């Protein structure tokens, strides 16, 4: 990783949907590239835990939503969400859990450099689940890792999502059968021995975007390694939860994260 990774280069105010939360678009260094992301901070004095928000999707699918990160900031976190390389004016090309993991690693360093940030938690949604676990492995000082509807096995994603196969072959360079090592490199299941942080798994059992099998495989592996893990499975929901339930889960997972800080 470049020694300047995580350094803030530019900062621009962005209209906030919440009067108690300030938003900024940040340009920062990630392994030599100028990458962009969004910072959400509670207005007022004091220190807060950091919250690294790792989005799902690729390119324009699954873009960072200001209202979403403001929602977590309103729970008492300083939130940073990288857009990933090649998006929204950033340099480079996003590659679905490959070199773009450096954007998450550098974002962790960015949060760490902020004076108001105490402990740092990592959150990943959908494809961001892989990014969250990889970042937790890279930074053992992370206090917790949450994966919501998260991918844990990239080969399984290729098998399940026929609509993504063309993109995955292009970005990863081939199929799991032809290049198994490239898919394994993007699959944190094979590296969990090194994970220090407790993990919370949230998943809708009827999820057709990222099947609940991803959550089950992650849970089984963590339990086999005797790692701390909590699981919240929702039998009736898919990849997206109803708004009222979503708000409740956001509050509950925020409280779960804060408890990990106290235990650390």
Which residues are annotated as catalytic? 126, 239
Task: Identify the burial level of 60 via C-beta atoms within 10 angstroms of its C-beta, where 0-12 means exposed, 13-18 middle and 19 or more buried.
Answer: exposed
Cβ atoms of residues 152 and 187 within 8 Å: yes
| DSSP codes of every residue in 116-149 | TEEEEEEEEETTHHHHHHHHHHH-TT--EEEEES
Comparing CA positions, the residue from 122, 149, 141 lying closest to residue 257 is: 122
Strand order in the sheet with 229-234: 8-14, 21-30, 33-42, 77-82, 48-54, 117-125, 144-148, 199-204, 229-234
Tokens representing residue 223 in the block: 């339990």
């Amino acid at each position: 990783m470049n020694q300047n990774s995580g350094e803030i280069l530019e900062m621009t105010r962005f209209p906030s949907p919440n009067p108690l939360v300030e938003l900024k678009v940040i340009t920062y260094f990630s392994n030599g590239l100028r990458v962009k992301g969004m910072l959400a901070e509670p207005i007022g004095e004091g220190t807060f835990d950091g919250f690294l928000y790792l989005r799902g999707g690729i390119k324009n699918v699954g873009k960072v939503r200001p209202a979403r990160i403001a929602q977590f900031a309103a729970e008492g976190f300083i939130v940073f969400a990288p857009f990933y390389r090649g998006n929204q004016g950033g340099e480079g090309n996003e590659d679905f859990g490959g070199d773009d993991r450096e954007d998450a690693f550098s974002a962790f360093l960015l949060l760490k450099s902020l004076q108001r940030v105490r402990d740092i938690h990592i959150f990943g949604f959908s494809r961001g689940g892989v990014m969250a676990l990889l970042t937790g492995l890279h930074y053992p000082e992370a206090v917790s890792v949450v994966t919501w509807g998260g991918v844990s096995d990239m080969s399984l994603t290729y098998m399940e999502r026929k609509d993504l196969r063309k993109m995955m072959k292009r970005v990863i360079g081939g199929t799991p059968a032809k290049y198994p090592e490239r898919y394994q490199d993007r699959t944190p299941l094979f590296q969990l021995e090194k994970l220090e942080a407790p993990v919370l798994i949230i998943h809708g059992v009827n999820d057709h975007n990222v099947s609940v099998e991803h959550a089950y495989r992650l849970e089984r592996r963590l339990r086999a390694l005797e790692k701390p893990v909590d699981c919240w499975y929702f039998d009736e929901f898919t990849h997206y939860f109803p708004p009222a339930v979503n708000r409740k889960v956001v509050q509950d997972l925020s409280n779960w994260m804060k408890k990990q800080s106290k235990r650390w």
